[in-house]
Structure 1
Amino acid sequence: MKERYLNGDSEALTFEELLDETNQLDLSSRQKQWLLTEALPDNPRITINDSGKYAYKPVFNIRDRKSLIRLLEKYDSRGLGAIAYEDIKESLPNADRIIKFLAEKNQLIVITRPVDKKKILFINNLSLSFNVDEEFQKAWRSIAVEGMDETKIEEYLKNHGISSMQDMNIRKSIPIQKRKDTKKRKSNFRKLNNHLDGLLQDYSDKQP
């Protein structure tokens, strides 16, 4: 089914049409049951529509070079990294020819990973392009960092008198000043009508 899809035929097939397409009409009923209940439903590259027909499910829904460019741009803008060459080949008809054309037009970049020799694709974001001095390029390429982790790289820089960037954005804690307890001042109350002192009598306990 993948071959049909990559050749431009994405029409879904019934189960019998699928068996005919793959020359497996002589399967036993047990084998057919296994295909219907396990093999086909569990296949991540097969989709079953509402009519019960089967179709190839590509890794990415791309059909031409424009949709490939849009996909790579989306990965670039969202910081998702590269896309595997093999995933594009399983999704895009005439993938090799389209990738070669776009690479020659400087619209995408193909890189072979040194670890597993697999190819990956990046969009060539020309807005990030800038010229680097040739002497700096030579100095950069003269330093071998393959197989070195961040700690070893930092040690190398220190041994050559180069300090690495440190986190300078350290917030200083501001001490909280305690409020001083204000002493309560004793209020001096003035006694009113001092000139009447001794002249007033209490008549509250006297009956009228």
Structure 2
Amino acid sequence: MSSHLEKLQQAFKSNVTSASTKITAKRTSLAPPPPEAAPSPAPSNSSNTSKAGKDTKRKREVQNVVYSQPAATGYGSEAFTQVTYVIEFLKKKDEAKTFREILEYLSQVHADEATKKLIASILRRHDRVKWLPDPQLKLQTWDSGTFLHQPLINVRTKQDLIGYLQSRPDAQGVHVKDLKDGWPDCEDAIDELEAEHKILVTRTKKDNHARMVWSNDPSLVHNVDLEFQHMWHKTELPTIDELVRKLQDAGQKPASEDPSKRVKAAPKAKEKKKKAPRKGGKITNQHMLHLLKDYDKTRK
């Protein structure tokens, strides 16, 4: 019995020894692990700054564009800006337009009702727009009627211009640029009225365009015969000096003289003031007079 246990104990020890030998051999046969990689050097401030700048630039370039708002148009977005374009539209068409036609021009047909009402109310109160009610409606709505351009001066024909100038309470002239606000092609009519002596016109020196107009009375204009004009130009008129001398010989005083013939007195030269001789001042060192005394006269 004891011999059997001894055999088992020896067998167990041999198994343990052989197992430990195998494990040791397996460990030695394995390759050693590779050395750990050295840590990378810390980046400098300049590299950090350049990297941050590149990242920021990339972020700015990748910004998404918001397409929810419409692109800027020439009509403007505010109601008062819209009215400005409406006035130019009515001025160019020179005829009454409905509010529907105005909205079509502004591309505001599908705008909200509050915006439409605001534009209509501004147009009705504007001094450059005339609102004409719809004669077929007893009760006007906010979008009824038509709109017409109201110029600065409501003149569109030659007769209107003459009547307007004659009805003015003052004698001031009328600017042609104000006439063109409601009558763009008025220059031809102005030239015709000037030739008929019905208006007086001042013109620009550079382009000879009409600048201002006044009312004129054609009955005050008298034609001179051509024969008399030729006689007048052939007559030799005396010179100014001769005319003045003849008037003085006749005992009459000339109304005017040639300013170029006047003898101008030569300007008097300014005399330089002579400096007065310097007078002796008050002597204050009386106690030292004996030291300043001159003893040359006492010498022999």
- Give the alignment's TM-score, normalised by structure 2: 0.34
Structure number with greater Rg is 2
> Which one has a larger percent helix, Structure 1 or Structure 2?
2
TM-score (norm 1): 0.47
